[in-house]
Amino acid sequence: MQHASYNGTMLVLVGRDGNLQPMMHAVALVPEESMTHCTWFLEKLIAHGFPLRRFPVVVNGRGALGAACAELLVPHVMMCTQHLLDDM
C-alpha cells in the first residue's frame, strides 16, 4: 500500500475484532515492497507472538508478501478476490 506522505510502502496487518470490525494489528513503513522487507515484517510479527500460522493471511498476489509467506511456511495464504478480479 502506498502512503500519501511517505515515498515508500506501508505494510499493514489488519484483522477483525469480536464484532467483525476491522482492527489494525501492525504497520511498517519500508522503502519498497521487497521480499527482504516483507520477510522482515512477518518475522517481527512471529517473534512477538502474533499467531500468523493459525489464521488466514490474504495477500494481493502482485507483490513480495506472498513469496515471503511461502518462505516462512505460513500455511493459510489466500489471494484477495478483488485483486484477482482486477487482474482479469
pLDDT at residue 83, as a whole number: 65
Cell, residue 19: 464484532
**Any idea how long the chain is?**
88
pLDDT at residue 84, as a whole number: 67
Distances (CA, A) of 71 to 17, 40, 49, 88: 28, 11, 18, 27
What pTM did the predictor assign? 0.78
Domain ranges of the chain: 9-86
One digit per residue, the tens of pLDDT, for the chain of length 88 reads: 665 777 888 888 888 888 999 999 999 999 988 999 999 999 999 999 988 888 888 887 777 888 898 899 888 888 877 766 776 6
